[in-house]
Every structure is written in structure tokens, then in C-alpha cells.
Structure 1
Amino acid sequence: MLLPATLLLVLVVIHGVPLASGAARLLNNDYAVMFKTALIGILLEALPFVLAGALLSSLLRVFVPDAWISRWIPRQPLLAILFACLLGILLPVCECGMIPLVRRLIHKGMPVYVAIVFILSGPILNPVVFGATLTALRGHPELAYARMGLAFTVAFITGLIIYVTVRKSPLRLTMQQQGGEGHPLSARGGKLAAVLVHTSDEFFEMGKYLLIGCLLTSGIQTFMTHSSLTAIGAKPLGSYLFMMGLAFVLSLCSTSDAFVASTFLHQFPAGSLLSFMVLGPMLDFKNSLMLLSLFKTKFALYLFFLIFSGVFIGSVLLSAWL
């Protein structure tokens, strides 16, 4: 019921359905136009990646045997973490589509600590994001290289800490609780039908969290002015916390956040821009809701703390070089 209700609200906001004359005037004012523009922009940017992640997840579910995943992942933990860091080059999925794909990989045999590393590094450590960052930050290539290096380091250390400290499964639901591998349509329509069914299931399950996140994020973007943000983030360490908070609430795609960061080049320290570009793909409002749907709350909060701490400390240390 949550997704249909949210979809109805989105349609009302976007199209300005005139339920009453007062509502029509409210939906046609400047703030409503800004809100609709922001909402449409975020949805159009994120939905293709959620769909891509759901499709990849379904293809893995139907066509990849469980034993294959186990064979691909190195047994040695350090090599397994390194493998996960580099997996984003082969599977350049945006953070919006990461969760359904990773959930399937975990149920196929991928260890949780390896999956976490892939979630953190995959959206950043790929050629598309690196090229977008270089393009957005022309004249500052060191920021692009620092982004790749910090993302790799935070993902690697976070995965290592989780390997050492987490022993029990942090997943909310087992495969049996989610309904198992089978589906009536897969028996009737073959593997192609099974892929389509599983893709729609994954897409709508993740989509409800994406829609809620987009609605809240659009509201924040509408009522925050650039001048007030600049004044708040002018202090040294405050600028880091501010830019990391901004990355969290704006929930931008990893291929576009560098273009937003470039608008602050002359107002914020380079290190704070780095924290913005690394934290956002790893931890923003949308994927926080998705992570909370996948993992138990205690583990998810522990993961959030590790990510935030790693990005903050790394950005401050790298600011001396930048």
C-alpha cells in the first residue's frame, strides 16, 4: 500500500492535479515549481539505475548458480576485499541500483563484508565516474585522483573492520522468508519470464524507498538557498560536516555530484569537496533507507558510523595534499 500511495502523491505534485482551487494555486506557485523540477530530476536520474540493478539482480538469480559466486571470490579476506573494490570496474552500477544487486549476490554466496566493500566502492571506482569527475573539475585533476584513492581506502578499511567484528548474519530476511527462489511464473514461462517477474519485484520493493527519499530530498533542495549554505559552511571543520551533510540530503548520482561540487570550488576547502564526492555515493538519504531495508538496524547504524568516520578523517588528512 505504501508504494501506490506514494506514487499517487508524486503524480499529484508533478501534474498539479486540481483537487480544489486553493490546491491548484498552491501547486502552481514558485516553490511548487522548484519542488516539481527537483523531484522529476532526481527520479529521472535514479530510476534507470535502480532498474538496471534490479535487472542484473534478476539475471544473477535465474542464470548464475550459487557455486559460481563462491568460486569467484578469493578465500583470503584481504584478496576478497581487494576483489570487491575492483569489481566496480566490471559492474559499474550506480549506488541507486546497488542494493538489489548486492542482496542477490549475498544470497548467491558472497560474504557480507565483501558485499559491503562492493556497495561502497562500486559507485565510485569505475571509469564512468572517474571521467565525469575529471570533466567537472577541470583544472583540478588531483581532486579526481583523490576521490578514487579515498573511496578505495574507506571501502577497504570498512570491509576489513566488518570482517573482524561481525560474525552473525546482519540480513533482515533470509531467502526463505523473502519467498524463496521459486516463482509460479518461472515454471510456466521459462527463464525469461522469471527474469521479468523478479525484476519487477526487486524494482518495486526498492522503488518505494527511492520515492520517499526523493520526496524529502526535493523538499530540502527547494527551501535551501545557496547563499545561506555558503555562510553556514564557511568555517574550516564546519565546511566538512556541512558538505557531508549536503551530500547525504541531496542524494545525487555519483556521475553528477562532481558537477555540483565544482560550484563550491571557490567557497569551500578542497578537502570538504572531496568529502562531498566520496560520502554521497556511499551514504545518502535514498540508499540509507534501502540499506535499512536490507540489514538489521543495529548493523546498518554501525555501518553508517564507519563510513562517516572514514570519509571525514580521510578528507581532513588529504586536505594537506590538495
Structure 2
Amino acid sequence: MTTLSPFKIVPLLLPAAFLIILLVLWLPERIELLDNVYMDTFKTSFVGILLEALPFVLAGALLSSLLQVFVPDEVLSRWIPKKPVPAILFACLLGVIFPVCECGMIPLVRRLIHKGMPVYVAIVFILSGPIINPVVYGATFMAFRSHPDLAYARMGLAFAVAFLIGLIVYVTVKKSPVRWSMERETGGNAHLHAARGGRLASVFVHTSDEFFDMGKYLIIGCLLTAGIQTFMVRESLSAIGGHPLGSYLFMMGLAFALSLCSTSDAFVASTFLHTFPAGSLIAFMVLGPMLDFKNAMMLMALFKTKFALYLFFLIAACVFVGSVLISVWL
């Protein structure tokens, strides 16, 4: 009999609590928002965001499954340069070759660390891999067709943040921060499926599992975003968007709470294009894949608590400062 893992349940609690608070505190004062016009707008917005994002989520799940089944972990370990700067550059660009969604990144990296990948290289791969890859770039470019510079800025800031954090971790962390007592991820499910029906069957099973696992986060994110866009008073959004500090903190907090997949978050961010500054949208699209609620739980499981909190601070600070600086260019 299978049991639900806490790491699959807990990430759903924060968005659900956010939605419940919204319903309890907000809607009774604005009962007119339940009018058919608002509900039609909500449904149209939700379906539009969802349909735009689904193909990219499916593509990401398929590519991740192909990597899981056909590429041995040892291949990546043999390719890593020995010197720190080339190794960090290699890890920053590894997602271009092996596009893995953040939903499956940490189990993969855990195996690579156990096979000898340096921790600072693994962290760079965790941060950059879900963003700097062709699938995410294509999704971002499609979401901001009229503003392609936002796609370039997202890739550039993700590269800079991952590279800088990799250097900081290499210089400041000398002891291994990994919880070695944890049970090792061996890809047993994939091997079991492969034994039953071959590698092709394993690809389809892994793809469907990852697609539906990511899909629940995508649907919750689309629901909350459509609700914010439809029911929240435009003046309130404009007030937040017009406040320099508030817009960045709001979008970074939203990215953490929604826990969207990196192949779909650009479509959510694009709905805020005319109410929030471009820099805050970049912060949303870079912070989310690096540090959201579900990833934070998995990082806390992989690394010791003190190091995990240190890593969270580095990610938030670098993304905030970098997005503010890059907004000058945008």
C-alpha cells in the first residue's frame, strides 16, 4: 500500500492557505465580484494561462524522463572540470544539454553528489539548470513575444546568480553540508519500470508521473494568478506595482508561494506585465525555479539546516539585487 510523502503534501498547504484567507477576508466585502462577468473573466484567464503553459510542461517532463532513463549519472561526473571556475561555468551551462525541471532536479543532484560531484558544482546546477535550458527559454520567449529582452534578461540573471553563489559556496563552505544519513536516491522506480516494459515504457511512465506531479502546482498557480488578476482591485495592484520595493518583494513572495514549474511561470508573469515593473517580473521568474516552497522543503532534506538557510539568504539577496540592477537596462 502506497503512502503519500510529506514532501508531496506540504507544498500544497501554503497556496491553499493563501486561497482560503483570500476567500474568508476578501470576498464577503466584495460579493459583487461573484457576478457572472467576473466569473467569466476568471475562467477565461485561467484557461488561457493553463493552455499556453501545458505544452512546455509536457516537453520539460519528456526531456527530463529521457535524461533519467538513457543518460547514466556517471557521464555527468566524468565531464566536470577539476578547477572551480571552469567547473562552475560548466554547471551553469549544463541545463542547455540536459534540461531538467526543478521538480526532478534535487533527486538527480543527490545521486550525482553521492557519485562524486562537488557540492558547489551541484548547487550551481540546481540553481541554473531549471532556467538556462532551451525549453524554458522557448516558453519565456513565447510568453513575452512583444518583449523578447525579458527572455534574455532572465537567462542572463540566472547565469550570474548561479555563478556568483557557486563561487561564494566554494570559498566559504569547507565541510560537506549534505545530510549523508539520508536514504540514497537510486532511481529504483525507473529501473523497475524498465525491467517490466523496457526503456521506452519507462520513459512514458516517468513522463506521465512527472507531468501530473508538476501539473498540480501549475493548476494551483494558474488559479491563484487568475484570481488575483480578476478579483483584486486594479488600483491595489497598481499601488503595489508602483512601489519600487513593494513590487519586487510581492513578486518574489508570490514566486515562492505559487511553486510553479519553470516551464510555465513565464506565462503567469506575463499577466502582470502592464501593472508591475519589468525588473520585478525577472525577479519572479528567476527566484521561483531557484527557491520556492516545495524546493525549500527538498533542499532542507538534502542539506543541513544551517547551510540550507545560508543558501536561501544568498539566493534571495542575489536575485533581489540583480533584478534591481537589471531593471536599469530594461
Residues 233, 243 of structure 1: 8 Å contact kept: no
Counterpart of 1:293 (choices 279, 287, 301) is: 301
Partner of 1:135: 142
Partner of 2:111: 104
Instruction: Work out the CA distance in 1 between the residues paired with 2:138 and 2:237.
Output: 28
Check 1:261–1:182 CA distance in 2 against 1; reply closer, same or farther (3 A cut): closer
Q: How many residues align?
A: 286
**1:82 to 2:82 alignment:** no
Partner of 2:321: 313
Instruction: Work out the CA distance in 1 between the residues paired with 2:66 and 2:180.
Output: 21
Check 1:268–1:51 CA distance in 2 against 1; reply closer, same or farther (3 A cut): same
Could you list the per-position Cα deviations for residues 278-304 of structure 1 after superposition, in whole angstroms to 9, with x for gaps in the alignment?
Answer: 111111112111211211221111111
Counterpart of 2:121 (choices 103, 108, 114) is: 114
**1:252 to 2:239 alignment:** no
Counterpart of 2:247 (choices 239, 251, 266) is: 239
Residues 217, 261 of structure 2: 8 Å contact kept: no
Partner of 2:312: 304
Instruction: Work out the CA distance in 1 between the residues paired with 2:102 and 2:305.
Output: 20
Instruction: Work out the CA distance in 1 between the residues paired with 2:9 and 2:152.
Output: 40
**1:91 to 2:93 alignment:** no
Instruction: Work out the CA distance in 1 between the residues paired with 2:138 and 2:219.
Output: 29
Instruction: Work out the CA distance in 2 between the residues paired with 1:284 and 1:138.
Output: 26
Residues 53, 99 of structure 1: 8 Å contact kept: no
Worse overlay, 134-143 or 273-282:
134-143
Residues 239, 269 of structure 1: 8 Å contact kept: yes
Check 1:277–1:171 CA distance in 2 against 1; reply closer, same or farther (3 A cut): same
Partner of 2:130: 123
Check 1:129–1:50 CA distance in 2 against 1; reply closer, same or farther (3 A cut): closer
Residues 51, 97 of structure 1: 8 Å contact kept: no
Partner of 2:27: none
Instruction: Work out the CA distance in 2 between the residues paired with 1:129 and 1:278.
Output: 11
Could you list the per-position Cα deviations for residues 139-163 of structure 1 after superposition, in whole angstroms to 9, with x for gaps in the alignment?
Answer: 2121111111100000000011111
Could you list the per-position Cα deviations for residues 1-40 of structure 1 after superposition, in whole angstroms to 9, with x for gaps in the alignment?
Answer: 4439959x99xx9xxxxxxxxxxxxxxx99xxx9xx89xx
Residues 269, 285 of structure 2: 8 Å contact kept: yes
Residues 49, 97 of structure 1: 8 Å contact kept: no
Check 1:293–1:258 CA distance in 2 against 1; reply closer, same or farther (3 A cut): same
TM-score under structure 1 length normalisation: 0.71
Could you list the per-position Cα deviations for residues 178-229 of structure 1 after superposition, in whole angstroms to 9, with x for gaps in the alignment?
Answer: 488999x98xx69969x97xx98xx89xx7xx89978986896687544444
Residues 101, 261 of structure 2: 8 Å contact kept: yes
Can you give the 5+ residue segments of structure 1 that lack an aligned partner in the other structure? 14-28
Q: Which amino acid aligns with 2:5?
A: L
Can you give the 5+ residue segments of structure 2 that lack an aligned partner in the other structure? 17-33, 36-41
Residues 57, 104 of structure 1: 8 Å contact kept: no
Instruction: Work out the CA distance in 1 between the residues paired with 2:69 and 2:181.
Output: 17
Instruction: Work out the CA distance in 2 between the residues paired with 1:191 and 1:71.
Output: 30
Instruction: Work out the CA distance in 1 between the residues paired with 2:300 and 2:216.
Output: 13
Instruction: Work out the CA distance in 2 between the residues paired with 1:266 and 1:55.
Output: 38
Check 1:275–1:283 CA distance in 2 against 1; reply closer, same or farther (3 A cut): same
Check 1:303–1:54 CA distance in 2 against 1; reply closer, same or farther (3 A cut): farther
Q: Which amino acid aligns with 2:268?
A: V
Residues 88, 118 of structure 1: 8 Å contact kept: yes
Partner of 2:152: 145
Residue 319 of structure 1 deviates from its aligned partner by 1.0
Instruction: Work out the CA distance in 2 between the residues paired with 1:85 and 1:316.
Output: 22
Instruction: Work out the CA distance in 2 between the residues paired with 1:172 and 1:136.
Output: 39
Check 1:297–1:221 CA distance in 2 against 1; reply closer, same or farther (3 A cut): farther
Secondary structure, aligned partner of 1:310: helix
Cα RMSD after superposing both structures: 4.2
TM-score under structure 2 length normalisation: 0.70
Residues 154, 285 of structure 2: 8 Å contact kept: yes
Secondary structure, aligned partner of 1:280: helix
Residue 169 of structure 1 deviates from its aligned partner by 1.6
